[in-house]
Structure 1
Amino acid sequence: MTEICLVRHGETEWNQLGKLQGRTDTELDDNGIQQAKECAKALNGKQGSAIVTSPLRRACCTAEFIQEQLQIPLLKMDDFIERSFGTAEGMTVEERLTAYPDRIYPQQETEAHLEQRLRAALNEIQSQYPHGQVIVVSHGAVINYLLRSMCTHDMEIPRHSLVNGSMSTITYRDGAWHVQDFNMTHHLSHYKEIGKM
């Protein structure tokens, strides 16, 4: 059985401002650094095989704090990068609703492409670590999509529900991925229900 702990990166200034980040390479703010350290502390002692991170700095920095605690290999995987939101990146909710009331953002990554690359990433992890525990540090839209694609009728994953620094767990067994838990925040001393990506 493969187990993956999905960690959403720590908070950034754009999270605080409610700006859509996408591929824009923002950095952790002071609260985000604290959240990353708290994730590392919560995962200390976990028998992890590896840490896999998105190449964006907010994810890499979060992953580096975890790696410092666990002392296991840290790998960057482009397939776990945040979804591109095209010309809507950098806009607040209000600005996006004004500019794009239909919520269709020019140059946004398609859901089909998002699904394709995430499926490939999961297959690679499952193939490399068929009996391992892997920590994946990624982003709101990516983790939300993964969880919603795996949830069953008795577990509903709300859109945009993930807190910065939250953890969710999925497992691969009996030929399929399953959600064990999502948006766990017990390890965080301070967070906001921002819900922005």
Structure 2
Amino acid sequence: MSATLHLVRHGATEWSEAGRHTSRTDLPLLPSGVEMARSLARRLEGTTYDLVLTSPRQRARNTAMLAGFPDAVVDEDLVEWDYGDYEGVTTDVIRETDPEWTIWTGVTPGGESAEALTERLDRVVARVRATDGTALVFAHGHCLRALTARWLGLPVSEGRLWRLDTSTLSVLGAEREQPVILRWNS
């Protein structure tokens, strides 16, 4: 296995700044998110990508465009974990009625199961590994953390182990055929 996967979380939005769970709601980037996305262009230039994918949500697509990848291919499998009834709600508010809740281990009424998320992210991993080259993905915080877990052969719930900020670059690859994290949240 020689594929490498570069991950970019979209730029800041009103809800990402406020800690509100955002999956289906298609929010634009904040002006600071636009600037952060533009700054990614310098960091990504000079690398040749065999595959460039983006979530269909405007916050990811616009980050891709501003970072210099206007032709990124939209992949529905890269949408954020569906928060169902918790869309737009912060973890603190959710914990008022479910004190132990996390997206990683809790029940999300009306939302996407870990099994469904695993299924679609496994398709992304297979697509990237089939390129046997370097891929670049623009997507969302929980989705990318769960994608990292699947890259490593772990359950999506293990994405809880990695913090991922907006407009950051992370790189997944392999060492002696073992999937590894090469760089994180940089």
TM range (shorter): 0.7 to 0.9
Percent of matched pairs sharing the same residue = 26
Structure 2 equivalent of residue 97 of structure 1: 95
Could you list the structure 1 runs, at least 4 aligned residues long, displaced by more than 6 angstroms after superposition. Answer: none
Structure 1 equivalent of residue 134 of structure 2: 133
Distance in 2 (CA, whole Å) between partners of 1:172 and 1:84 is 29
Distance in 1 (CA, whole Å) between partners of 2:76 and 2:96 is 32
Distance in 2 (CA, whole Å) between partners of 1:57 and 1:136 is 14
For normalisation by structure 2, the TM-score amounts to 0.85
> Quick check: 2:146–2:159 contact (8 Å CA) kept in 1?
no
Alignment pair present for 1:2 and 2:3:
yes
Q: Shift of the alpha carbon at 1:173? A: 6.8
Structure 2 equivalent of residue 63 of structure 1: 64
> Quick check: 2:51–2:128 contact (8 Å CA) kept in 1?
no
Structure 2 equivalent of residue 123 of structure 1: 126
Q: Shift of the alpha carbon at 1:92? A: 2.0
Distance in 2 (CA, whole Å) between partners of 1:56 and 1:94 is 25
Structure 2 equivalent of residue 85 of structure 1: 83
Name the SS for the 1:67 alignment partner: coil
1:167/1:151 Cα in 2 relative to 1: closer, same or farther (>3 Å)? Answer: farther
1:158/1:101 Cα in 2 relative to 1: closer, same or farther (>3 Å)? Answer: closer
Distance in 2 (CA, whole Å) between partners of 1:29 and 1:94 is 23
Deviations 1:9-48 (A, max 9, x none): 0000111122111222111101111110111121111112
How many residues were matched structurally?
176
> How much is the aligned-residue C-alpha RMSD, in angstroms?
2.3
For normalisation by structure 1, the TM-score amounts to 0.80
- Counterpart amino acid of 2:172? I
> Quick check: 2:142–2:159 contact (8 Å CA) kept in 1?
no
Structure 2: give runs of 5+ residues left out of the alignment.
102-106
Q: Shift of the alpha carbon at 1:174? A: 6.0
Distance in 2 (CA, whole Å) between partners of 1:83 and 1:34 is 25
Distance in 2 (CA, whole Å) between partners of 1:160 and 1:173 is 20
Name the SS for the 1:22 alignment partner: coil
Structure 1: give runs of 5+ residues left out of the alignment.
185-197
> Quick check: 2:125–2:147 contact (8 Å CA) kept in 1?
no
Distance in 2 (CA, whole Å) between partners of 1:48 and 1:98 is 45
Structure 1 equivalent of residue 54 of structure 2: 53
